Amino acid sequence: MSVLVILPAILLLPLFPFSMVAVLAFDRLRDGWLRSLLLLVWTLPGAALLSTSDTAPPAWLVAWAMLTALFYAWRAVVLQDARLWIVFLAVSSSALLWAGAGGAAMIAKALGLSLPIAFASALIEIIERRRGAAHVALDLRLAGRAPKLAGLFFIGLLAVAAMPVSPSFFVLLALVSDQAATSVMTTLAILACWLLWSWAAARLVTGIVIGRAHTAPNDISDHLASFYGAGVVGLGLVGVLLGGIML
């Protein structure tokens, strides 16, 4: 892999400390819909760049990427603001993409990781618009106040944490498959990230969804719930489709 590919790729699929700029930019972006759209597409140029090279990146670079992915996954566990949480997860997953560099279907892998993130980001935007913020400290107790929104939010977070049959599940399986034969450490790093994402998602669910509601329910409309429900089904179908391509 040449330097001409590596240098821009480090910025497009940002590794720490360049990742701090990406976090800052996404966090500053006020428009939630635009943020969701950007979260969907931002890894694609980097993935396209990496897919131009048939050879794997040097070991030190993959190690740097895995450390970045682990670093953000670990830090995401304690985050209480869902918006920042989703950005941390986006940075962590984009760094993981380096593990697939030199392999097949890089664009599919990038899309598979960013689709659930964009979906969850859109749901976070709905919560922020209705409640002011999607923050644990606000004691939102969504399950009691907005059961439909809570259910969708829960599924969205599970999809981000690579639960079956979300696209990210198949991407992580493909990444483990790419690395299992070559590097034990990279394989373990991917699995550790998977675990940390689940931990982080479960903590956020507990903080935002769970609890007895003391006010009257104020849920999203049936139409909106059906729209996002269709999105959940779509995520599953895309997951199965991507799984078929990658595995």
Partner 1 sequence: MTVLPALIILLPLVSAALTVSLSARMGRRVSDISVVLIGLSFAMSSLELWSAVWGQAPRNEVVLVGWVTFFRDPLSALLMWVIAGFSLIVHAYSRRYMADEPGFVRFFVLLNLMTAALLVMVSASHLVLLLIAWHLVGVLLYLLLGQDLHSQQAQRYAFVTFFTYRLGDLPVVLAAVLLFHAFGTWSLPEIFTALKGGSDATAFGLPLAGVVGFLVALSAFARSAQFLVHTWLPYTMSGPTPVSALMHAGIVNAGGVLINRFAPVYVHAGEVLHLMFIVGLVTAIIGSVMMLTQHDVKKALGYSTMGQMGFMIMECGVGAFSLAIYHLIAHGMFKGTLFLNASGVIRSARIDDGVPPEDLYTFIVERRPVRTRRPWLAMAIFTLAVPAAVLFLAHYFVEQDFFEKQGAVILLFFGWMTGAQLIFATYHMRAENPVRLFSLILVSFVIVVVGYSLIAHGFDVFLRPDPEFRKALYAAAGIRLVYFDIFVAILTTVIVLGWLYAYYVERRNMPTEDWNRRLRQLFYSVVSHELYVSTLYASASRHILSGARRVNARLGWR
The binding site for partner 1 (CB under 8 A) comprises: 20, 23-24, 27, 74-75, 77-79, 84, 143-144, 158, 163-165, 169, 173, 176-177, 180-181, 184, 187, 191, 194-195, 198-199, 202-203, 206, 209-212, 243-244, 247
Residue ranges of alpha helices (H) inside 106-146 are 106-131, 142-145
CB 70 within 8 A of CB 189: yes
Q: CB within 8 A of 155, min separation 6: which ones?
A: 232
Work out how close the CB of 72 gets to partner 1 at its nearest, in angstroms, rounded to a whole number.
10
Q: Which CB atom, from 121 or from 187, has the smaller least distance to partner 1?
A: 187
Q: Which CB atom, from 1 or from 191, has the smaller least distance to partner 1?
A: 191
Q: Which CB atom, from 4 or from 247, has the smaller least distance to partner 1?
A: 247
CB 32 within 8 A of CB 128: yes
Q: Which CB atom, from 49 or from 158, has the smaller least distance to partner 1?
A: 158
- Distance (Å, rounded) from C-alpha 3 to C-alpha 49? 12
Q: CB within 8 A of 227, min separation 6: which ones?
A: none
DSSP designation for 141: -
By CB atoms closer than 10 A (0-12, 13-18, 19+), residue 239 is buried
Work out how close the CB of 51 gets to partner 1 at its nearest, in angstroms, rounded to a whole number.
21
Q: For the chain, how many helices (H) and strands (E)?
A: 12, 0
Q: What phi, psi does 30 have (nearest 5°)?
A: -75, -40
Q: Which CB atom, from 40 or from 73, has the smaller least distance to partner 1?
A: 73
Work out how close the CB of 78 gets to partner 1 at its nearest, in angstroms, rounded to a whole number.
4
Work out how close the CB of 161 gets to partner 1 at its nearest, in angstroms, rounded to a whole number.
9
Work out how close the CB of 52 gets to partner 1 at its nearest, in angstroms, rounded to a whole number.
26
Q: Which CB atom, from 44 or from 163, has the smaller least distance to partner 1?
A: 163
Work out how close the CB of 79 gets to partner 1 at its nearest, in angstroms, rounded to a whole number.
7
Six-digit token pair at 134? 């999607």
Six-digit token pair at 11? 């910025």
